[in-house]
Amino acid sequence: MVLFAEDFGKAFIFKNLRPKIKGFFMKAGYDDVPYEMFGLLFYLSLAITYFVYILVLYPKILAAAPSSSVTLVIITFISWVIVQAVVLFLIIMYVYFSINMKIYKRTRDIEAILPEHQTLKADYHSRRHYGLR
């Protein structure tokens, strides 16, 4: 377990959304919700936010030269929250679309063998109905 990644993953998913998310992941072939993955993605979002803030935003904030340290703290807080929200949104969309693609692929594979399965099942039941084995 990496730095309570599973605990962070569970903490950021509301209890009323957990059954829906579990159903979504079950459609994709997962037996359980990978809460540890969500925690690790949160850590990744923090790292990305940190680097974006330090390398891009902080020099621009200092160049604007806020008049007081309180203003600097407020601008820093607001910019950190916005960057974090954007990064989390992008990560969530990536996970959502990749899981959706996995669900689509599984559905396509099942539909490809479904006619054969139904034929075999119908044949089995007709033989059983007529006493043939």
Please name which of 15, 98, 3 lies closest in space to residue 44, comparing C-alpha atoms: 3
Average pLDDT, the chain: 85
* Alpha carbons 101 and 105: distance in angstroms, whole number: 6
What 8-state DSSP symbol labels residue 125? Answer: H
Please give the structure tokens belonging to residue 129: 């109905």
| Mean per-residue pLDDT, 44-68 | 88
**Residues 6 or more apart whose Cβ sits within 8 Å of residue 44:** 91
- Numbers of helices and strands, H then E, in the chain: 5, 0
Residue ranges per structural domain of the chain? 5-129
pLDDT for the residue 130: 63
Please name which of 65, 67, 1 lies closest in space to residue 39, comparing C-alpha atoms: 1
Between vectors from CA 25 to CA 23 and to CA 29, what angle results, nearest 5°?
110
- CA torsion sign for 21, 94, 9, 27 is positive
| Mean per-residue pLDDT, 11-37 | 86
Range ranked top by mean pLDDT from 12-16, 18-22, 35-39, 97-101: 97-101
Whole-model pTM over 0.85: no
